[in-house]
Amino acid sequence: MIVGSALLLSAYLFPRNTELRGMRWSELDWDRAMWEVPGERMKMKRDHLVPLPPLAVAVLRELREIDFGSALVFPSPRDPARMLSEMTFNAALRRMGYTQDVHVHHGFRTTASTNLNEMGWNADWIERQLAHVPTNKVRSSYNKAEYLDGRVEMMQSYADWLENLL
């Protein structure tokens, strides 16, 4: 259930592997339905807000009912103070029959970006959701926009789209 829940959240939220494995309960703002990832855990060292669509909140609430006595949402089964192994998600995908050339954990990010772009969502919203920093250094220096309202709408729409695929 734990790894399956992590894979569901990977589809809904498309975070990097390390960000998801290191998710802490204290980073979740239940009232705002937001995951607040501190910059020190991000690749680009910038704080990152991740809107949580209701389907993701439901997955997290189910996980919350399981008490591992850990600050981590996805603790290691051997040591609740440590996060799951780096290979856990890809190993689960292999067990599900997905070979490395078909799907890897990072592929959730590619899939989301591709589909959201094809659906016509604002490219700046998509890139911000992926926690990408603009390559234009001048724009990156001045544009600190979060595009939060648009990203909340986009994430809800994407979660709904995923659910309709089933």
Catalytic annotation, residues? 16, 43, 106, 109, 132, 142
Tokens read off for 144: 């600190």
Sole residue written with tokens 């780096």: 86
Phi, psi of 75 (to 5 degrees): -75, 160
List own/partner pairs for 121-126 with CB under 8 A and 24 or more apart.
121/154, 121/157, 122/147, 122/150, 122/154, 125/150, 125/151, 125/154, 126/154
Question: DSSP letters along 38-82, please?
Answer: -GGGSTTS--EEEE--HHHHHHHHHHHTS--S-SBSSB-SS-TTS
